[in-house]
Structure 1
């Protein structure tokens, strides 16, 4: 009988690496659909509120907590499965599920219907992030991983921006229900393409030395062991805490940003969709790519710990511009501050994911990604938009339509904490490198 690819792992590895670019592209496109389906709600909040007679608190629940609970918690068992079985099949199946559920949001007749459909979106999207990050970490070595993760993170920035643009234009012409269906249905087709063409690399393919060091340990660590391993790694804890708080602010501001522009800057839904969403997506995307390349260059010259310091410095520069956005009534001045903040704000995503994958044990990469996403989404996505909605409702008697401005500003003031945490993570990683 002839030899199979299983008998010749070096041939299988070569074939997988030849499809590395295609795989990264498809995973990025999947992430794009994930955030497009997730963030389209931001531009549709106002028409949904008017149609279904909802409060800002209910809108905050739909945007954040309800979605996040299922998205974050189901990520752990799915990641456990991904560390043992085919990651690309999990990603493809998950994509099909959340795409169908996004389309079903368009037929909701009340808050409960929309709530159940959003739960379905969260259930589906739980199976995308951890296995995708695990595949990318196996395809790209440490010195190229931040750039690869930065490309992957374009899905967040472009998906959110284009979701708002597409959703706003379709909703303007045909209503918010049609917008949900338009962004949901194409994902089913992409799921088939992912199933057929994404490469499934060998675990630790791009970490030859670490594979050699860990090959004596044949036992697969359990979920609790994975959690304890992350908890014992202080640098990882600071990274997760920093990313969680950054995401809390980010989800709160992006989730309510279109509503704020309509309420306080006197912009229409169509203006936000056409003149803000797409430029913001490309500025943020450029920030992510340049941030990934800068992080890889700094890591090569001065050590991988400097990637955390790059993030800290970029966030420090962005902070005053992000906050000043809420102090100006002039539309040109406010939007200028907003776009300047975006130039630096998108840097953190790729390098943070890359650093966590660098610190994770090889057999726990998907699990550590899921644990990161658990806190990022349960706290960041779950609490951020809901906190703004509740604060806005509480401040409404005193500030009326301007209550949203002060609610968003209050959440934005959390930013100095993750700046400090990223810096601390870099310090700890530098110490770890000296010990090694």
Structure 2
């Protein structure tokens, strides 16, 4: 098909069935790239404090438990709770402008992190980062869903969800390199300035798409979805929490994130303090591992659910469940390995499989709700899974390390990492319950 026949969401006239069948055009891919870059900055800012944990701990004299709370609970409370009113507001207004303002806010707060001189100041700056980032992902999910038709959203959201691994990799590579050459403060300030520039680019150059312009009614493949009224806040919340598939995908993803956020927030510190890595080695080898294997996991899982989901929607549950089971023995090997080279070899496999949940979770929620409920539903998904995973995963692991510190001062983080293995099996069980719920709903249609 020639490029001239592809659908361009920026063209208001291209909203008919033929446009939908043609698939996304050049503007859709450009917007996806711009939103992905913002997501890269979102996650880079979020993870930078974990990547630079060792020099921050050395200067500010904070414990593993304090580090866990500042990267977990303190951040997550603001990030998840603010996301709800932001999602409701974005569903009723211009989602692009909401995203641009949020990017500006969290980037300015990242600069403030670099200027912090005490632990309370750093806590306050991190909370401000959480407030800003609350307006980043939910509007982006909905914007992408209105640029890409059903059947291509898994791939598009899979590409978008490569933002976290790219952000993590760039954070490790550039953040650690800047910190090694200058200071950890310079890393925060540099990244924050880039984010402020990106916010201005989004504000002036990304167009707001028509809500539901690429959706069709059930049983009428050629009939576009009619424009719906603005979503009610409480009606959307009731819909989300009374749908078994939606609440189960949120809980299963939260259990998975309990592991993934705990691991990613402490891996750099673990590798440096107990496996013998230097900051320069982290900047090279760990950055490559994260960038390659998490990105591959995000993309492969998105393609898998697009392919297998055509046969059975239960694939949205089975794909992450199988991936997590495959990750467990290699995660054990990573924690056990006596030195960092062997640990990195083992870590590559769970780094690939641990993120098979995200693209299926986002795609399933976006497919299951009405177009005018997508931003708020995405925010509710993030509320549940981030409050559980981001809020309690790093907090738990930091407290566990402090608990083991007195009796095992040389390997307290290793023992704490071992205690994450049961949470893998909890996540698998929840995904299997989700598969059963999906089959039951399909049987009622």
Q: What range is the shorter-chain TM-score in?
A: over 0.9
Report matched runs for 1:188-199 at 5 Å.
188-199=196-207
Match of 1:10 in 2: 13
Q: Does 1:386 align with 2:386?
A: no
Match of 2:413 in 1: 404
> How far apart are 1:214 and its partner, in Å?
7.0
Tell me the distance in 2 between the aligned counterparts of 1:336 and 1:11.
49
Secondary structure in 2 aligned to 1:143?
coil
Q: Does 1:328 align with 2:337?
A: yes
Q: Does 1:150 align with 2:153?
A: no
Q: Does 1:133 align with 2:136?
A: no
Tell me the distance in 1 between the aligned counterparts of 2:215 and 2:443.
20
Tell me the distance in 2 between the aligned counterparts of 1:143 and 1:165.
35
Where in structure 1 do 4 or more consecutive aligned residues deviate above 6 Å?
12-16, 211-214
Q: Among residues 229, 248, 252, which one is paired with 1:238 in the alignment?
A: 248
Match of 1:276 in 2: 286
Between stretches 187-196 and 325-334, larger displacement belongs to: 325-334
Tell me the distance in 2 between the aligned counterparts of 1:428 and 1:183.
43
Q: Among residues 325, 330, 348, which one is paired with 1:316 in the alignment?
A: 325
Q: Among residues 343, 350, 353, which one is paired with 1:341 in the alignment?
A: 350
> How far apart are 1:291 and its partner, in Å?
1.5
> How far apart are 1:12 and its partner, in Å?
7.3
> How far apart are 1:17 and its partner, in Å?
5.3
Tell me the distance in 2 between the aligned counterparts of 1:305 and 1:71.
30
Q: Which runs of 5+ in 2 are unaligned?
A: 1-10
Any conservation in 2 of the 1:20–1:199 contact (CA below 8 Å)? Answer: no
Report matched runs for 1:70-219 at 5 Å.
70-209=78-217, 215=226, 219=229
Q: Among residues 63, 67, 84, which one is paired with 1:59 in the alignment?
A: 67
Secondary structure in 2 aligned to 1:266?
coil
Match of 1:351 in 2: 360
Tell me the distance in 2 between the aligned counterparts of 1:122 and 1:182.
19
Tell me the distance in 2 between the aligned counterparts of 1:109 and 1:152.
35
**Number of residue equivalences:** 427
Any conservation in 2 of the 1:136–1:149 contact (CA below 8 Å)? Answer: yes
Between stretches 260-269 and 13-22, larger displacement belongs to: 13-22
> How far apart are 1:156 and its partner, in Å?
0.9
Match of 1:422 in 2: 431
Tell me the distance in 2 between the aligned counterparts of 1:333 and 1:368.
41
RMSD in angstroms over aligned alpha carbons?
A: 2.0
Q: Does 1:257 align with 2:267?
A: yes
Any conservation in 2 of the 1:134–1:365 contact (CA below 8 Å)? Answer: yes
Between stretches 284-293 and 206-215, larger displacement belongs to: 206-215
Q: CA offsets per residue over residues 307-337 of structure 1, 9 Å max, x none? A: 3211211111112211221122143332211
Any conservation in 1 of the 2:153–2:363 contact (CA below 8 Å)? Answer: yes
Match of 1:39 in 2: 47
Match of 1:304 in 2: 313
Report matched runs for 1:12-27 at 5 Å.
18-27=26-35
Any conservation in 2 of the 1:220–1:363 contact (CA below 8 Å)? Answer: yes
Match of 1:3 in 2: none
Q: CA offsets per residue over residues 241-267 of structure 1, 9 Å max, x none? A: 011111111110000000000111111
Tell me the distance in 2 between the aligned counterparts of 1:131 and 1:17.
20
Match of 1:228 in 2: 238
Secondary structure in 2 aligned to 1:325?
helix
Q: CA offsets per residue over residues 367-419 of structure 1, 9 Å max, x none? A: 11101111222221111111111111111011103111111221243011111
Match of 1:4 in 2: none
Q: CA offsets per residue over residues 101-123 of structure 1, 9 Å max, x none? A: 10111111100111111111111
Any conservation in 2 of the 1:245–1:414 contact (CA below 8 Å)? Answer: yes
Secondary structure in 2 aligned to 1:400?
coil
Tell me the distance in 2 between the aligned counterparts of 1:189 and 1:9.
28
Tell me the distance in 2 between the aligned counterparts of 1:272 and 1:18.
37
Q: Does 1:377 align with 2:380?
A: no
Secondary structure in 1 aligned to 2:210?
coil
Any conservation in 2 of the 1:308–1:351 contact (CA below 8 Å)? Answer: yes
Q: CA offsets per residue over residues 129-188 of structure 1, 9 Å max, x none? A: 111001112222221111111101000111012112211110011011111111111111
Higher helix share: 1
Secondary structure in 1 aligned to 2:318?
helix
> How far apart are 1:11 and its partner, in Å?
4.5
> How far apart are 1:435 and its partner, in Å?
2.1
Secondary structure in 1 aligned to 2:65?
helix
Tell me the distance in 2 between the aligned counterparts of 1:292 and 1:163.
24
Any conservation in 1 of the 2:148–2:156 contact (CA below 8 Å)? Answer: yes
